[in-house]
Amino acid sequence: MNYQWFGLIGIALVLSGCGGSDSKPKNMASSSSSNMSSMMVASSSTAVMSSSSAMASSEMASSSMAAMTERKYSVTVTNLTAGQPFSPLAYSVHYSGFSPFTIGMPATRGIEKIAESGATDDYINEAMANPDVILVDHAMGLTLPGESKIVSLNVSVEMANADQLLFSLVNMLGNTNDAFAGVNSVAIGKLAVGENLTLNAQSYDAGTEMNTETQATIPGPAGGGEGFSAVRDDMVDQVTMHPGAVTRDDGKMDSTLTQVHRWDNPTARITITRLAP
């Protein structure tokens, strides 16, 4: 499904001033007393073993319950650009076995769809299929230039692994072909209650669509054109740092972008605060 998140927000951007919980039985033919004695010993041993097993199961269950801990965080994301609306923020809490993207490697289909159209469904499904992902979701609505959005994280994890928690967040820069911003696998597990961490989000090129900047290929309010395309026409086909926009104000006459749509890194400021459970 091709979601277009940006087609209806041109007026909102102008008004804002930006252009913008899942044994065999014994042989009884031998001596009766011997057999009875053996059976009593075996029965006693079985009883002891059963009792030990029950105690071990009880201790394991108790230990498992005691080993869980609740972690709560508040995440504030501020759009630092002048003319790039953010698509719905896709975020995850996970361990090291998951990473939303890797520089120099092809973008997943989930990242491709976020970077080209802002649609999060494929990304969320990919993350949910990974056993190292504890929580994945997206915030509702857009984050316009200059605006901030707050998301809350609440996870239950094994205490032994709590210090290993990581956080990732990605979103499209709406007035681009396939640019996205975000942070990848930031360590949050060792934050103390009340402690916070402030991060600067960089911009990335998904490497899935040529940066033509034409009206027909920009889904945001600067173009209102096509979002996701299944064809990867960018021969690079790997995630890289984004080189930035080359607008018609820079002499690219077929570009629908102007100087207001340029951006510098960082594109967003993200503050993560650990809350009391």
The pLDDT of residue 6 is 61
Write out pLDDT tens, residues 81-117. Answer: 999 999 999 999 999 999 999 999 999 999 999 999 9
276 exposed, middle or buried (CB, 10 Å; 0-12, 13-18, 19+)? Answer: exposed
Name the nearest CA neighbour of 204 among 95, 104, 120.
Answer: 104
d(CA 202, CA 199): 10
What is the three-class DSSP state of 189? Answer: coil
How far apart CA 115 and CA 117 sit, in angstroms, is 6
What is the pLDDT, as a whole number, of residue 66? 52
Residues of the chain with pLDDT under 70: 1-66
Work out the mean pLDDT of the chain and round it to a whole number.
84
Segment (H or E) for 13? helix 10-15
Q: Is the peptide bond before 85 cis (omega within 30 degrees of 0)?
A: no
The pair of structure tokens assigned to 104 is: 């120099």
